[in-house]
A and B are shown apart, each in its own frame.
Chain A
Amino acid sequence: NAGVTQTPKFQVLKTGQSMTLQCAQDMNHNSMYWYRQDPGMGLRLIYYSASEGTTDKGEVPNGYNVSRLNKREFSLRLESAAPSQTSVYFCASSLRVGPGTDTQYFGPGTRLTVL
């Protein structure tokens, strides 16, 4: 089992360009999450999907969109990248959202730089 995979691992964009970060999990988990990690700050939730067909905003959703393509895949799109979106992005999944079932399994991360 690969667990949680993310592509790409690294990306450099110019301001205004768009891109999609891909995430897939093979653990048959219901819930998936997108986080960003910035120096000196804890992980911050961008969006999550509690189950296939649903998505909800997290703490820092502005400038991002998500798609839960199917149970396995959850993508994050930057429509018009800004330097403030330079960060490391982590995808995670859990069996489901809720106490006792939400131990999260993380992907390896995508390091994004916006010039």
Chain B
Amino acid sequence: KNEVEQSPQNLTAQEGEFITINCSYSVGISALHWLQQHPGGGIVSLFMLSSGKKKHGRLIATINIQEKHSSLHITASHPRDSAVYICAVRANTGNQFYFGTGTSLTVIP
């Protein structure tokens, strides 16, 4: 049973395209995190959301708590955006984090 599902699993885009990665979850949460894992393996936290929308540069993250869904958008994609994007949720009971399996993004010049 996967508490966090991401789609698509793999995504290839041309440079400049608008990209959307989706995350759905099945548990009650207090926060949702988007992480980026570089090809070399390092993991960086991009956003933490509990409601609404956040923007950082070309990245935008939104969350709909009622629908248990979040999206990560990348505007004007660039080859350096190529990475695995991971959605994680903090359950609102206990101290458990649940992670999605990630979306592998490749941006072609």
Known: A48-B95, A109-B41. A102 touches B101 (CB 8 A): no
Q: Which residues in B have their C-beta under 8 angstroms from that of A40?
A: 101
> Does A45 have its Cβ within 8 Å of any Cβ on chain B?
yes
Does A15 count as interface, using CB distance less than 8 angstroms? Answer: no
Q: Is the interface of B mostly helix, strand, loop or mixed?
A: strand
Partner of A100, one of B31, B41, B44, B95: B31
B30 touches A99 (CB 8 A): yes
A105: Cβ under 8 A from any B Cβ: yes
Kindly state the separation between the CA atoms of A59 and B42 in the bound complex, as whole angstroms. Answer: 22
Contact call A97/B99, Cβ cutoff below 8 A: no
Q: In the docked arrangement, what's the CA distance between A48 and B41, Å?
A: 21
Taking CB atoms and an 8 Å cut-off, the chain A residues in 90-105 that contact chain B are 90, 92, 97, 99-100, 102-105
Residues of A within 8 A of B (CB): 40-45, 48, 50, 56, 58-59, 88, 90, 92, 97, 99-100, 102-106, 108-109
B residues sitting closer than 8 Å to A (CB atoms) are: 2, 4, 30-31, 33, 41-45, 48, 50, 86, 88, 90, 92, 95-102
A40-B101, A102-B90, A104-B33 known; 8 new pairs, CB 8 Å cut-off, are A41-B101, A42-B98, A42-B100, A44-B99, A92-B43, A99-B90, A103-B33, A109-B41
